[in-house]
Amino acid sequence: MGTTIRAWQGDITTLAVDAIVNAANSSLLGGGGVDGAIHRAAGPELRAHCAGLGGCPTGEARITPGFRLPARHVIHTVGPVWRGGQDGEAAALAACYRNSLQLAAAHALRTLALPAISCGAYGFPLQEAARIAVTECRAAAERYPSLEEIVLVAFDPQLKATLDDALA
Ligand code: APR
């Protein structure tokens, strides 16, 4: 059957998938944007659990339980801050997707939803981020047959259109 990769517009915290990916910061102790939404929905146990992980470098990923979320797990990844594109930002963003997908496969997770990592506070240009996301998801679908569904989540119509274009 292979892996389904699709774009969906809405709030990632509502998805009852095996894991949702969080666009975190290196402390893993929460923040604004999707990080804030995920921590609010998961409840205080998430932050308490993350406090024991010792942070996460940019480009890497860490898995935790989902606690009060409908998702079973949260995979936290730290995207690059966009500094104009000459500072290894594209490679770091690709690593976020690659490491998050690898961690999901390592835990035999079948369904996964990912937000537009770095496209909010971290300022990464949407079109290039969408291209990177689709490229890494397609590579992971080839590498990990256990992945059944990958959902790229847009929080607004512009990003949804950008993701649909990248998937076309
Ligand atoms: N569901 C899905 N997507 C969301 C949600 C949500 N509930 N809330 C926000 N988004 C989208 C934003 O619209 C954006 O497209 O997630 C994308 C990522 O934006 P940010 O959350 O700002 O993440 P990022 O750009 O990676 O910046 C990370 O912001 O919140 C802090 O602690 C976080 O320091 C870190 C930084």
141 secondary structure, DSSP code:
H
pLDDT tops 90 at residue 48: yes
- Cα dihedral 46/36/129/66 (nearest 10): 30
Question: How far does residue 1's CA lie from ligand 1's centre (Å)?
Answer: 32
Q: Hey, whose CA ends up nearest to atom 35 of ligand 1?
A: 25
- CA-to-CA distance for 118 and 130, rounded, in angstroms? 11
Domain 4-167 fold is Leucine Aminopeptidase, subunit E; domain 1 (3.40.220)
Task: Give 48's contacts (C-beta < 8 A, 6+ positions apart).
Answer: none
pTM: 0.98
- E strand map for 34-135: 61-65, 73-78, 111-114
pLDDT tops 90 at residue 112: yes
**If you average pLDDT over residues 142-159, what whole number do you get?**
97
Q: What is the pLDDT of residue 162?
A: 98
CB atoms within 10 A of CB 28: 23
Q: Hey, whose CA ends up nearest to atom 24 of ligand 1?
A: 118
Q: What is the pLDDT of residue 32?
A: 98
Question: How far does residue 121's CA lie from ligand 1's centre (Å)?
Answer: 7
